[in-house]
Chain A
Amino acid sequence: MNKFTNLIIRDIRLAVRQGSAFTMTLSFFVVAVTLYPLGVGPELNILARIGPGVLWVGALLSCLLTLDRIFQADFEDGSLDQLMLGSLPIELMTLAKIIAHWLTSVVPLILITPILAVSLNMPADGIWVMMLALLVGSPVLSLIGAVGAGLTVGMRRGGVLLSLLVLPLYIPVLIFGVAAVEAAIAVLPMGPHILLLAGLSLGALVICPIAAAAALRLAVE
């Protein structure tokens, strides 16, 4: 367990000291969301209608941008081989890296969401549920993304392939995430959607580290 937490701390420390990691993802998220009002026009009722979807799609794409960071740098400098030879099972090692990715790349997006939601004219009830839905559903993004990242690690032009592999699998999260927020705005029960998101997260938590570990074994073979 100690090794597990140490690995998470190491990855977070690397991301923090690199500095640009946080700001880059956040800036991308903010810029991407800003493009929508410019594209569809500034009418507040239209923005309120598309707000949940815009924020979720923005979060999906921002997460996608950082996926290659999970394994790529460690693969290039050889630390990945070192980690895989270590006593920590590869599945747990992948899980630790996934948790670190979620904490450094996805949680900042959740924290900045309220400000963007206000700019999209989202009612206050919606904003809280938006954050809750992101908190419950976004682990799926890191988990499924890690499988894609593992499969494309060490590949030239892996990024484009990664998005083709991963984005279709993100669709259920997008659908239930948006449904939860829209239900909350319409004062309908949003519990089932949140529970479904939690179910997706737990399912992915079981399957994805195993699949990502299999992909990594293949990559360093």
Chain B
Amino acid sequence: MAVDLHKFANPARFLRITSAIFPWAAIVTVLLLAVGLYLALFASPEDYQQGATVRIMFVHVPAAWMAMSIYVMMAISSATGLIWKHPVADLSAKAAAPIGACFTFLALVTGSLWGQPMWGTFWVWDARLTSMLILFFLYLGYMAIWGSFDDQSKAGKAAAILVLIGAINVPIIKFSVDWWNTLHQPASVATMDGPKIHSSILTPLLVMGLAYTSLFLTIFIIRVKAEILGRRLRILRLAHVED
């Protein structure tokens, strides 16, 4: 691998780089969210069947994308932490988890708000809804295990084992739940023949996807910084007690 991972393992260097990225990430988030929400909620055409309800999709679909990609990112980060004993990797997985849980929750809530007028019910035991709900439980379990260890480095390793087992299981759960029941429409953006939806809807969707990604990056930087500084603070306090 050309990139030397250990270069970024140094928390001080990590803090320097992320502090430089942070203001840009924040600005990009605000701009993309503003443009994306305008395109999604005002400029995009109403659906001939769904009316204005279709606009919930612009909030819902990117949230579901984020929910899944953040879990993958946590799994990669945890594997890095386990294999190379990378000190920032565990913290980054920890910092990402609550954000991922929030996106999952957002996808579930907006999905059920869309389901009420469309399917006539807030909740159906449809395959995708169910697998999102299970993903939400996986996030909760991950956060719970961080909370139940006193020793942070032990908690990091235990959580890493859990998230890796979960990552192997997520495709199996997805597949089994799909088999079990399907009411949700099949994938229409990332298909082999290119997107199947019209560009008037695709553009706002992609802008919102980018906005969510950069929103994640912004919050993520704040959280990782807080984790690193919190760890330093604990060490300083300990030194103070010893004096």
Contact = CB atoms under 8 A, between A and B. Distances in A.
A175 B176 contact: yes
B176 A172 contact: yes
Contacts of B177: 171, 175
B161 A151 contact: yes
A179 B173 CA distance: 14
A215 B158 contact: yes
B186 to A, nearest CB: 19
Interface stretch (A14-22, A89-97, A124-132, A161-169): A161-169
Interface stretch (B30-38, B51-59, B112-120, B138-146): B138-146
Chain B residues touching A, majority SS: helix
B192 interface: no
Interface in A182-221: 200, 207-208, 211, 214-215, 218, 221
Contact of A168 (B137, B148, B154, B180): B137
A102 interface: no
The 4 A-B residue pairs with the shortest CB-CB distance in the complex, in nearest-first order: A172-B176, A168-B137, A175-B176, A165-B141
Interface of A: 144, 147, 151-152, 155, 157-158, 161, 164-165, 167-169, 171-172, 175-176, 179, 200, 207-208, 211, 214-215, 218, 221
16 contacts: A144-B165, A151-B162, A161-B141, A161-B145, A165-B162, A167-B137, A168-B141, A168-B173, A169-B165, A169-B166, A171-B177, A172-B169, A176-B176, A179-B179, A207-B168, A211-B164
